[in-house]
Structure 1
Amino acid sequence: MVYDPDGRFDAELSLPLDREPHMQLVRAVISWTDPAALQPRDADQIALQLTGHARAVAAEVRRRYAGLPLDAEPRVLAEAVLEEADRRLAQPCLGTLRCVQMRARQVRALYERLDRLNKAAAVRGQ
């Protein structure tokens, strides 16, 4: 995945999401319980990776919901998740387990929303 922690790559650029390796990282990070087991440099690198991927998934969520009516439930819920993601991802990386886990949870939430948008699109397409 492209390293893009600030979300500057072209919004029209649609890269395939490398979901499974990132979700494996998300599951691993969320399962960690010992803050001392993670060095600050490692936490920074993991947080940067998750931030870049979260921004890529958020861009895909935005593309998927853009064509929905303004009052459509999937769009309203996606907007709420995206607002939360924008707020959280704008916070600086702190080199802590808590920071890394927050970014992992954000990736997970964005994928959950993307899956729901895909299901809604499939139902509308039938």
Structure 2
Amino acid sequence: MSDTHVVLYDPQGLIEAELPLDRAPYEALVTAVLAWKNPDLEPRDYEQIALQLTGHTRAVAADVRRHVAALPKSDGRGALAEVILREADRRLSAPLKGTAQCVQNRARLVRALYRQLDRPTEPLPAAT
């Protein structure tokens, strides 16, 4: 066994950009969480679900940021995405609570970010 280690330096997040998001389980979780009517879970269970959604929200937001960075500055799609990203940052800065409302808010955030990620990133056609 070697006592050496390698430090990864990737300030642009290029390695992470090459890894696709595993959307299916999180989309299923978001759908389930948003369908809750009167869930009766323990606060620690809500916190664990919120932690899962928080981590995934950060990963999706990073993808959205990369896509926005590829758009021309004058492209209006980037402006809308920036608004959603600022809102995501604001919501993610709030402390987690062991409540269904907190978990559902994180699920809504994942859904909104996926909508932005799914928007086409090709330049808009020039007006004639």
What is the TM-score normalised by the length of structure 1? 0.83
* Residues 10 and 101 of structure 1, relative CA distance in 2, 3 Å threshold: farther
Residues 54, 107 of structure 1: 8 Å contact kept: yes
Which structure has the highest helix share of the two? 1
> For 2:38, which of 34, 39, 51 is the aligned residue?
34
Residue 17 in structure 1 maps to residue 21 in structure 2: yes
Matches of residues 1-126 of structure 1 in structure 2 within 5 Å?
12=13, 13-14=16-17, 15-35=19-39, 37-116=40-119, 119-121=120-122
Moved over 3 A (4+): none
Q: What secondary structure sits across from 1:33 in the alignment?
A: coil
Alpha-carbon deviations, 1:63-89, whole Å to 9, x = none? 011021223111001101100100001
What is the TM-score normalised by the length of structure 2? 0.81
Q: How many angstroms does 1:22 deviate by?
A: 0.1
* Residues 122 and 23 of structure 1, relative CA distance in 2, 3 Å threshold: farther
Identity of aligned residues (%): 56
Flag the structure with larger Rg. 2
- RMSD of aligned C-alpha atoms? 1.8
Residues 67, 121 of structure 2: 8 Å contact kept: no
Q: How many angstroms does 1:123 deviate by?
A: 6.6
Q: How many angstroms does 1:121 deviate by?
A: 2.3
How many residues matched? 113
Partners in 1 of 2:29 and 2:83 — Cα distance?
Answer: 24
Q: Which amino acid aligns with 1:82?
A: L
Partners in 1 of 2:41 and 2:74 — Cα distance?
Answer: 43
Unaligned 5+ runs, structure 1: 1-8
Partners in 2 of 1:86 and 1:59 — Cα distance?
Answer: 11
Q: How many angstroms does 1:10 deviate by?
A: 5.9
Q: Which amino acid aligns with 2:121?
A: A
Unaligned 5+ runs, structure 2: 1-9
